[in-house]
Structure 1
């Protein structure tokens, strides 16, 4: 495979001509980090792709600016048979190169500054960082032992030998780092404490908060607090996990939301929306009702959205195309009502107060956001 030319074209697409990240993207053989991956076909079935059996498709996928799913549920593509079709959520991927570069830029790497890559995945961010600042300054951590060992082996063949650690970052992060870049959505609250403890005073972190698409950056001060901002940039990363797969979704509540009449029935004000794809709405909903899970279905012109919450709350909104939806809600919270309040604010003010907000993260992992008179916190419930 003549990968150098395709890698060079990728670098031209995702960096600027004077960017210090142009050379790392152009010189890292990304295809070697993703020899096999999962694609979803038109029927919604996961299908295995094997690079060696189709080098042309391998090069096209590896050097496109796209994420490649490498693990679904408990099954990694490296261990799959051609007729395997796993079910469940993606649990690891090779993040699209442009987003890797953006996260590295947000982190403001510097010569000799120890970096923690939190969420090894396929090893792309570790590879780019090792190329730029030297692997001796890079540590890569993931909860999945196979991801760590596979990335270590593949990076070694490229001549990079960063420190590789298998650990649950929500429980313990060994070492101290001047820069931390997380390409998994970290949970605000207690699960964020170990990461904050590993950030050295004066150090900088770039991460997203789980179930939001908000990129938060900040500097750690002497009082232990991290002060920063929500960047005017967004990213959708997988949640952290503590085991080989995510806990099962709230299947019972989703089943209830599909068919129940609800304690409250009404006509919604706004068209049905796929909240998971409406990133600002989804992020604001997580701040308003932390922990809500989402579902969305279409059939011809009919659209239905589901919201469920671990406290037993649920909502279903159904409509033809952009017609006002019929809304059913149950449980202690009115989730669709909360979403409509957010949409009211967006329509009335033209934007939500998230992007550009100031952030203070306390050592207990609570993220306090503010912009103008607006105040919110995540991780204190």
Structure 2
């Protein structure tokens, strides 16, 4: 079998040479934690060419498994909420629900968290326990609290951490509620995406403390944000860029659409902006901020494809189709959904389409808003 120490060092060298592991304290922490120890139960590999996506298990113990553990890539560790690699022979076509995030992103986020010696940190989303172990190696386990939603995932992480003689405070529960028992915290870091920053996180962070989380949504665009908590109970800060993507926290995943509206109704007009702009990550993020309750689907209607957005809160919807090279939109519901999206995009274009790194987010007890 290959030497895990050698593979581990090769990964660290690659991350350092690529500028993705930048500071000595985190280099030391990364050197102290071997990733394969948190993947002994194996992982799922995507089956090449499978449509829809299919996954096959890679079980621990051989060279292929070990070498992949030290690749800078995310590895799926749970599918459909309960299924782990040892449960499967063959292939499975279900959605991933837990993973081991690629090491470069884990370490980038920990560096962006700006922890200091003595910081009390809460992590939302224990996962395999790898990032938890890095925090323990840097700060000491007594200063780390980690909250995991899934009981089985939490149990496996607890076992893996114990093998490393690391015993942080591990909590099984809704990470969106934080952990008031160990508050206040100097730093909070989330390894899942949220649609809105939970009030509990702000309440459990010391004034001047930082919250690092990915802001995502139902249109599939997300960005990392670093918020500073203020004395008045609000928080604000910049987006950090990089198209960082995590699975949405389970309570923030989209609800079933249910019975679709009658898409033959509504008023039509020529669209100023077509749905093709949604292929661009930044544009999709802006659209998502304009219609945070909207879900997108493609429908085949009367022999032609229509891109449909449905606001699940209001029931408003917009259907767009290509009519001989021009986009036509048909809308119905309490508000004209595509009108609102075009107006929002228009203001962004009038400002010169600033990059997402130029955006800031402000969170108050009443609302969350983006500014550019």
TM-score relative to the length of structure 2: 0.82
Alignment deviations for residues 181-226 of structure 1 (CA, whole Å, 9 cap, x no partner): 112223427xx11111211233211112341523221222322222
Q: Do the aligned partners of 1:271 and 1:323 also contact (CA within 8 Å) in 2? A: no
1:178 CA displacement: 0.9
Q: After superposition, where does 1:275-290 map in structure 2 within 5 Å?
A: 275=278, 278-290=280-292
- When residues 2 and 264 of structure 1 are mapped into structure 2, their CA distance, relative to the original with a 3 A threshold, is farther
1:109 CA displacement: 1.0
1:125 aligns with 2:127: no
1:135 aligns with 2:141: yes
- Give the Cα separation in 2 of the matches to 1:134 and 1:117: 14
* RMSD of aligned Cα (Å): 3.2
Deviates more, 1:153-162 or 1:34-43: 34-43
Deviates more, 1:206-215 or 1:112-121: 206-215
Q: Do the aligned partners of 1:38 and 1:46 also contact (CA within 8 Å) in 2? A: no
Secondary structure (helix, strand or coil) at the match of 2:226 reads: strand
1:95 aligns with 2:101: yes
1:247 CA displacement: 6.1
Could you tell me which residue of structure 1 aligns to residue 65 of structure 2? Answer: 58
1:146 aligns with 2:152: yes
- Give the Cα separation in 2 of the matches to 1:365 and 1:51: 47
Secondary structure (helix, strand or coil) at the match of 1:286 reads: helix
1:234 CA displacement: 3.8
Secondary structure (helix, strand or coil) at the match of 1:91 reads: strand
Secondary structure (helix, strand or coil) at the match of 2:165 reads: coil
Q: After superposition, where does 1:151-300 map in structure 2 within 5 Å?
A: 151-171=157-177, 173-174=179-180, 175-176=182-183, 177-188=185-196, 192-211=198-217, 213-242=222-251, 246=253, 248-253=255-260, 260-270=263-273, 272-273=275-276, 275=278, 278-295=280-297
Q: Do the aligned partners of 1:272 and 1:305 also contact (CA within 8 Å) in 2? A: yes
- Give the Cα separation in 2 of the matches to 1:297 and 1:30: 43
- Give the Cα separation in 2 of the matches to 1:93 and 1:365: 33
- When residues 269 and 52 of structure 1 are mapped into structure 2, their CA distance, relative to the original with a 3 A threshold, is same
Q: Which runs of 5+ in 2 are unaligned?
A: none
- Give the Cα separation in 1 of the matches to 2:338 and 2:45: 32
1:331 CA displacement: 2.8
- Give the Cα separation in 1 of the matches to 2:64 and 2:339: 46
Secondary structure (helix, strand or coil) at the match of 1:7 reads: helix
Could you tell me which residue of structure 2 aligns to residue 375 of structure 1? Answer: none
Could you tell me which residue of structure 2 aligns to residue 360 of structure 1? Answer: 362
Alignment deviations for residues 30-74 of structure 1 (CA, whole Å, 9 cap, x no partner): 223233323333212332322326x33323432222222222322
TM-score relative to the length of structure 1: 0.80
Aligned residues: 355
Could you tell me which residue of structure 2 aligns to residue 22 of structure 1? Answer: 27
Could you tell me which residue of structure 1 aligns to residue 78 of structure 2? Answer: 71
1:317 aligns with 2:328: no
- Give the Cα separation in 2 of the matches to 1:31 and 1:303: 45
Secondary structure (helix, strand or coil) at the match of 1:5 reads: helix
- Give the Cα separation in 1 of the matches to 2:332 and 2:295: 15
Deviates more, 1:333-342 or 1:151-160: 333-342
- When residues 18 and 74 of structure 1 are mapped into structure 2, their CA distance, relative to the original with a 3 A threshold, is closer
1:132 CA displacement: 1.9
1:118 CA displacement: 0.8
1:248 CA displacement: 4.5
- Give the Cα separation in 1 of the matches to 2:153 and 2:214: 21
Could you tell me which residue of structure 1 aligns to residue 54 of structure 2? Answer: 46
1:340 CA displacement: 4.0
Secondary structure (helix, strand or coil) at the match of 1:8 reads: helix
- When residues 69 and 317 of structure 1 are mapped into structure 2, their CA distance, relative to the original with a 3 A threshold, is farther
